[in-house]
Structure 1
Amino acid sequence: MPKFPAYLLSRLVFVFLLMLAPMATAQTPAPADGAAQTAAPPPEKVAELIKLLDDPEIRNWLQNRPASTAAKVEQEATLEVEKMEAQARTRFQALRAALPRIPSEIASAAGKVRQQASESGFAPALYLLLGIVGVGAALEWLFRRTASRAKFQSPVLTRAYVEFGPLIVFTVVSTLIFMAVDWPPLVRAVILYALLAVIGYRLIMGLCRLSVDTGGMSAFQYSRIRILAAVFTLGLALWAMCRPLGVDNDVRTDIVYLFSVALFLIALEAVWRRPVDRRGNPPTRVANILASLYLVLLWLLWSIDFMGLFWLAIYAVVLPRLLSGADRLTRAFALTRWNEEDTNTPRMVLLLRGVRAIILLLALGWLGLSWYYNPSVITSDSPFVRTLVYGLFKSIVVLLIVDLAWHLAKAYIDRRLTPASDDLAVSPDEAARHARLRTLLPIFRNALAAVLICVAAMTILAEMGVQIGPLIAGAGIFGVAIGFGSQTLVKDIVSGVFYLMDDAFRVGEWIESGSYNGVVESFSLRSIRLRHHRGSVFTVPFGELGAIRNGSRDWTIDKFRVRVPFKTDIAKVGKLAKEIGKQLQEDPELGPHIIKTLRMKGVEQIGEFGIEISFGFTARPTGEQTAIRRRAYTMITQAFAENDISFAQPTFQVGGEGAGGEGKEAAAAAMYKRQADAAALAAAEGGKK
């Protein structure tokens, strides 16, 4: 098949541009009259020009001058097209004429191999190949007997060992035998490429069987891939043997095309006869037609030697399925080896992303080699496009590295952010350290993402040939301008940095700042998010926080007061408080949160209606101090009732005379009773504070 020369396309484009130049010149509008009069030459120069045109020599030269450049270029372009057509026709006729010579050329090459083998005292190459394969298969059989009894912790690893262990033994044995014998040149070439074809075919089949075992490939796909692999490896081996055996290049090319047509027909049959998919849906006619057109496109790209586009078209369909199958194999191995289903752990991320990166790098390397050794027309003729293509290759490598680094860091940070089941069992210092990490790691994660994105973007631009120095300088100037224009934003960010450096608050702590209070839920670079106990959410910039009162550090003391009558036995109240404190300490729900249990502080104040006694306890700042205080109120009320101790109440004496005096006294008593109840309630609320 003819190859499309790169220089011909470049010349055609150049010729086309040259032909457009005079057309653009002819379409240029004439200058205005005023401009023409201004630019007119002097009369003496016009007279001199007319005199020169009357010269017989100049008139003769003008009549016999050579053709214009545009005409020459047009003629050269026409000749180039005709030359390309003639070359293609000649090449096609040569390949067609070489078709009948394929059997004779193969027979002649086989005769050369037999003759050289007999002259060197060797058996025919086929017998030698069968002997090497037989010895390797015998040792492989012995190894397979021991390999079948091997058991690994992972069934996937066991299956891989059973599949590839014997293949490795066969490869090593056949290689040693081949290297130990000094073969004749032609026999060596035949045996070498035949052994490579056998090993390659077995390697492909081993991978396919492993994919079938893990559910990545159906039985129908396995049967068709087995036929494709056999035809492909056989054709590749014959193509490689033909060169050292002296087969004509046209015959060699025809052999390759015949095998390519066979592969195309096998793939086409697999498309139209494929069964239902994984979901049980049969393939539609439109899908089969599109798949057939895709196969035709692949064959045409390969035929005209556009190997870069050929491999890109293959990657577009094969690479996603290959990555999916690799993920399935990797997860099955991790599940059976470590019993690990979570894909967000650092080990799983490294395994999954590492396997993906290896597959993508191998595919990219092969594409780069095919593009380098079979350069396309545009890539070979345009330095800019060549820089762009190779810059894309390097950019993909950079993105793979950045992707692996980001997912590893994210998995590690997410793992540290996830609360462990034994957080309550650690010491207070360790719990504080964990809380500090859970506070700082989200900010570090966001900053790391920004840094990786910037580094990746700058590196990719540099690989694509863009000068990033001016970009960095411009970004610096723009940053300074933004800083001056957004001083409030800078203030918020800087204030947040210093709050975090001072460890002023952590996620999960209750803080109060001015009119804002609540539990710290999260924060960004410029603001903090507080959840009020009634459900409201405050988003407060760091610059507006000011002084912070943190109620969730180390310990908290809760005090309250109770008013009793003047004649109450204070010592008895103290004993009751001590007993209540002991019961609170033994409570399975509230006891773990109490540091110093409830006790009576003493007489706090002698009021107008009774004595105010103060109580207090020390608890951990977990938010349970309110529940402890409520339980203490309940237990004190019950204990006072059981021991005939009453709460102090204001009393009033109201006297009156005359008619209706009794009704007024009753109304006044009821009013004073309501005032006393209100005073007692206010005293209780004051004790809470």
Structure 2
Amino acid sequence: MKQVSLLPRSLILFVFTILFMALSLQPCRAQSPETPPPAKLSELLRLMNDPELRQWLEKRQAAEPQAPAIAETMIETGEARARSRYQALRSAIPNIPAQIAAATSRVREQARNNGFAPVFVLFAALVGVGLAAEWFFKKTVVKARFQNPLIALAVGEFGPWVTFALVSSAIFLAVDWPPLLHVVILFYLLAFIMARLAFAVCKILADAGALSAFGHRRIRLFIAVLAIAGATTSLARPLFIDRDVETIVSYGSSILLLLIAIEAVWRRPENVTATGQQTVVNVLYSLYMICIWFFWATNFLGLFWAGIYLIVLPKLLVAVGQTAEAFAKGHWPNDNKNSARMVLAVRGARALVIVAAVAWIIFIWQYNPNILARENPTVDATVRGALKSIVILILADLCWQLSKAFIDARMGDANNAASSPSAEAARASRLRTLLPIFRNALAAVVIAAAVLTVLAEMGVQIGPLIAGAGIFGVAVGFGSQTLVKDIVSGIFYLMDDAFRVGEYIQSGSYMGTVESFSLRSVRLRHHRGPVFTVPFGELGAVQNMSRDWATDKFLLRFPFNTDVAKAKRIIEQIGEQMKADPEIGPQILETLQMKGVEQIGDFGVELSFAFTALPGRQTYIRRQAYTMIRDAFMENGIEFAQPGVHASGEEKSDAALMLQKKWGEHLAGSPSPRT
């Protein structure tokens, strides 16, 4: 497959996502204040309300010098805390080897006293048993056959991982470990299992073309270092390692991960022709990652994750979309990108990524005690409402895209069924008429619901808005009665199924084929080309010329001495020939018949003919019938009547002489023409 390089942005996601996981175990935690006993609290409140005590406090406050400015106090306090923290960490650096050696000695001593082997031997044996069970799974379990290679790869990657996790976890839970040995093996086993899961996901992304080979190698290295560093840092508290030492180890691990990320940025394969331009881009990326690391180190987690999402989330959505599309395309090869299943797979995967990102931000905002903005109720409510609004908009977009894809698919089926038998074609025509209107109405409903829900989450009272919208709607209804009339008339026309898209109708002076609808008008295409946009309120009675069937009648004139019975037999033969014709036969519902003598005229008898055909095809069939009737009658000696003047005997001579005499008199009395 085509390898698409998503570095450095995709790599930044993995780097800083796991950086925060390493940081989450650092010892920069706020301690919750102890709640005083209720009795002491009541006594304190009583003393605060004592008039003598309040007067003494006021005098003492007036006698004290003016307090410095708040900004100066905050700066000085922050500088003092930072200096104290730096000195504590610097003094703890020499103690790191002794602290680690003491923790290792405690674990080794506890394992020896309880009859266990060293921790590394036990962990290696546990991993070995899990890998053996994984190998046995690969060799004995029959692999399922999948047409999609990505699904086969996913089963091949996740199946052994699940086997390893189940077997190793079962053995771990079955053994009664000593406390320190238990926590060490637990953390390293979890790190190993999660690292292997991340390896499997990266492998699938690489095979789907969403991750380059270079990015795959660097991310695997990053995950391996992270797993070891994360497990080691997490063991600091259970092994009674000093908090300052834990902080130094955490910062050191994060710096190592940062260096791996910067190295990947500078060595990534990019199609940049100008060397100077590539250097500038690499420098900017490196500075950006250093800034984000600084936000992490100073515990500004909101800015940290905002910086990650700003750069990483767009590329991550593209990668997830490509992977989901590859999976769906392999499972449903005949579906196009706009089908409902493809939209659900691609947009659903992207929606899950966005929802997970927002959920993580909400989790940090909820449980991080160091976020000062939470002390302001307005800021806290605004941030929570904004995060929830993102989820609401994502879900609304997903619902709309799924509905739109489903409606478009049904419209495509309706267009394909237009040439089917009459019942199916009628149903398809009705769907083509109603589905566009339903799609527009659904879009309006989704947008209105999403906007109102977002406003409600942001703290806006939507009750007055809804009431105001109702009053405004009544005012608009009174002011635009014609518009309301058109909309209501259109609703009833559609409910009565008066016409559909593709049908030829006539109403008053308007006629044409129905092309489309809107909320207030219908678009008619005349057979000569002009387009009429007619409001529903002006249609009135509608004559539908394309519904169910159409009967065509015509008259032909023959001489008085025509053999009517012979002509009828010829017409019956012509009708059978037309019915058997593969081109026009399926369009005829009742074949051509001669009804008999319609009337006797001055120049001959008029015979009536009729047939019934599909709507809109009667003109074409009538032309074919004229040609066949003419040829058949000429072959059988039947002529068509022709108008003429019949005169006989002396009447004819007298009339001719009189006409000649009057014409000569007229010429004699006329003036000579001018030259």
Map of 1:274 onto structure 2: 268
**2:180–2:238 contact (8 Å) kept in structure 1:** yes
Q: C-alpha displacement at 1:150, in angstroms?
A: 4.0
Alignment of 1:381-420 (within 5 A): 381-419=375-413
Q: Which moved more, 1:75-84 or 1:104-113?
A: 75-84
Judging changes above 3 Å, is the alpha-carbon distance between structure 1 residues 659 and 620 closer, same or farther for their aligned structure 2 residues?
A: closer
Map of 2:243 onto structure 1: 249
Judging changes above 3 Å, is the alpha-carbon distance between structure 1 residues 147 and 223 closer, same or farther for their aligned structure 2 residues?
A: farther
Judging changes above 3 Å, is the alpha-carbon distance between structure 1 residues 300 and 524 closer, same or farther for their aligned structure 2 residues?
A: same
Check if 1:635 corresponds to 2:624. no
Alignment of 1:348-497 (within 5 A): 348-374=342-368, 377=371, 379-419=373-413, 423=417, 428-497=422-491
**2:27–2:243 contact (8 Å) kept in structure 1:** no
**Identity level (%):** 54
Map of 2:312 onto structure 1: 318
Choose from 255, 258, 265 the match for 2:259.
Answer: 265
Choose from 292, 300, 323 the match for 2:294.
Answer: 300
Judging changes above 3 Å, is the alpha-carbon distance between structure 1 residues 469 and 340 closer, same or farther for their aligned structure 2 residues?
A: same
Distance 1:413 1:250 in 2: 62
Q: Deviations over 1:184-233 (max 9, x none)?
A: 22111111111111111111111111111121111111111111111212
Judging changes above 3 Å, is the alpha-carbon distance between structure 1 residues 280 and 154 closer, same or farther for their aligned structure 2 residues?
A: farther
SS of the residue 1:645 aligns to: coil
Distance 1:381 1:550 in 2: 69
Choose from 76, 83, 91 the match for 1:82.
Answer: 76
Q: C-alpha displacement at 1:657, in angstroms?
A: 5.1
Q: Deviations over 1:96-122 (max 9, x none)?
A: 222232222212211111122122222
Distance 1:325 1:457 in 2: 29
Q: Deviations over 1:373-425 (max 9, x none)?
A: 22564532211111111112222222233223222222222222113687378
**2:419–2:425 contact (8 Å) kept in structure 1:** no
**2:498–2:544 contact (8 Å) kept in structure 1:** yes
Q: Deviations over 1:473-492 (max 9, x none)?
A: 11111111111111011000
**1:136–1:171 contact (8 Å) kept in structure 2:** yes
Structure 1: which amino acid aligns with 2:359? G
Judging changes above 3 Å, is the alpha-carbon distance between structure 1 residues 210 and 77 closer, same or farther for their aligned structure 2 residues?
A: closer
Distance 1:570 1:659 in 2: 40
Check if 1:168 corresponds to 2:162. yes
Alignment of 1:105-120 (within 5 A): 105-120=99-114
Map of 1:648 onto structure 2: 641
Choose from 517, 533, 541 the match for 2:511.
Answer: 517
SS of the residue 1:284 aligns to: helix
SS of the residue 1:529 aligns to: strand
SS of the residue 1:193 aligns to: helix
Distance 1:321 1:145 in 2: 38
**1:561–1:614 contact (8 Å) kept in structure 2:** yes
Check if 1:505 corresponds to 2:499. yes
Check if 1:619 corresponds to 2:620. no
Structure 2: which amino acid aligns with 1:568? T
Q: Which moved more, 1:523-532 or 1:414-423?
A: 414-423
Distance 2:632 2:523 in 1: 43
Distance 2:658 2:608 in 1: 46
Map of 2:185 onto structure 1: 191
Map of 1:535 onto structure 2: 529
Judging changes above 3 Å, is the alpha-carbon distance between structure 1 residues 75 and 545 closer, same or farther for their aligned structure 2 residues?
A: closer
Distance 2:101 2:620 in 1: 98
**1:504–1:548 contact (8 Å) kept in structure 2:** yes
SS of the residue 2:66 aligns to: helix
Distance 1:165 1:617 in 2: 70
Higher relative contact order (CA 8 A, sep 6+): 2
Distance 1:83 1:154 in 2: 62
Judging changes above 3 Å, is the alpha-carbon distance between structure 1 residues 154 and 533 closer, same or farther for their aligned structure 2 residues?
A: same
Distance 1:187 1:97 in 2: 30
**2:414–2:429 contact (8 Å) kept in structure 1:** no
**2:597–2:608 contact (8 Å) kept in structure 1:** yes
Judging changes above 3 Å, is the alpha-carbon distance between structure 1 residues 637 and 568 closer, same or farther for their aligned structure 2 residues?
A: same
Map of 1:584 onto structure 2: 578
Judging changes above 3 Å, is the alpha-carbon distance between structure 1 residues 515 and 378 closer, same or farther for their aligned structure 2 residues?
A: farther
Judging changes above 3 Å, is the alpha-carbon distance between structure 1 residues 103 and 594 closer, same or farther for their aligned structure 2 residues?
A: same
Distance 2:492 2:293 in 1: 65
SS of the residue 2:413 aligns to: coil
**1:554–1:620 contact (8 Å) kept in structure 2:** yes
Q: C-alpha displacement at 1:358, in angstroms?
A: 2.4
Q: Which moved more, 1:134-143 or 1:598-607?
A: 598-607
Judging changes above 3 Å, is the alpha-carbon distance between structure 1 residues 75 and 444 closer, same or farther for their aligned structure 2 residues?
A: closer
Check if 1:232 corresponds to 2:217. no
Distance 1:632 1:459 in 2: 65
Choose from 171, 176, 180 the match for 1:177.
Answer: 171
How does the TM-score come out when normalised to structure 2? 0.83
Map of 1:206 onto structure 2: 200
Q: C-alpha displacement at 1:458, in angstroms?
A: 1.0
Map of 1:595 onto structure 2: 589
Judging changes above 3 Å, is the alpha-carbon distance between structure 1 residues 118 and 274 closer, same or farther for their aligned structure 2 residues?
A: same
Distance 1:209 1:116 in 2: 40
Distance 1:560 1:395 in 2: 69
Q: C-alpha displacement at 1:472, in angstroms?
A: 0.7
Judging changes above 3 Å, is the alpha-carbon distance between structure 1 residues 419 and 537 closer, same or farther for their aligned structure 2 residues?
A: farther
SS of the residue 1:215 aligns to: coil
SS of the residue 1:599 aligns to: strand
**1:148–1:162 contact (8 Å) kept in structure 2:** no
Q: Which moved more, 1:338-347 or 1:598-607?
A: 338-347
Map of 2:90 onto structure 1: 96
Q: Which moved more, 1:116-125 or 1:134-143?
A: 116-125
Q: C-alpha displacement at 1:148, in angstroms?
A: 7.5
Judging changes above 3 Å, is the alpha-carbon distance between structure 1 residues 274 and 252 closer, same or farther for their aligned structure 2 residues?
A: same
Count of residue correspondences: 602
Specify every segment of 5 or more residues in structure 2 that has no aligned partner in the other structure, as ranges: 1-25, 31-59, 665-675
Q: C-alpha displacement at 1:549, in angstroms?
A: 0.4
Map of 2:117 onto structure 1: 123
Q: C-alpha displacement at 1:526, in angstroms?
A: 0.8
Structure 2: which amino acid aligns with 1:154? N
**2:339–2:406 contact (8 Å) kept in structure 1:** yes
Distance 1:346 1:231 in 2: 42
Q: Which moved more, 1:410-419 or 1:420-429?
A: 420-429
Alignment of 1:114-153 (within 5 A): 114-146=108-140, 149-153=143-147
Distance 2:173 2:549 in 1: 79
Judging changes above 3 Å, is the alpha-carbon distance between structure 1 residues 298 and 200 closer, same or farther for their aligned structure 2 residues?
A: same
How does the TM-score come out when normalised to structure 1? 0.82
Distance 2:419 2:299 in 1: 69
Structure 2: which amino acid aligns with 1:451? V
Judging changes above 3 Å, is the alpha-carbon distance between structure 1 residues 659 and 590 closer, same or farther for their aligned structure 2 residues?
A: closer
Structure 2: which amino acid aligns with 1:271? V
**2:27–2:244 contact (8 Å) kept in structure 1:** no
Judging changes above 3 Å, is the alpha-carbon distance between structure 1 residues 65 and 476 closer, same or farther for their aligned structure 2 residues?
A: closer
Distance 1:269 1:573 in 2: 97
Q: Deviations over 1:636-666 (max 9, x none)?
A: 22223323333322223686459999x99xx
Distance 1:628 1:537 in 2: 27
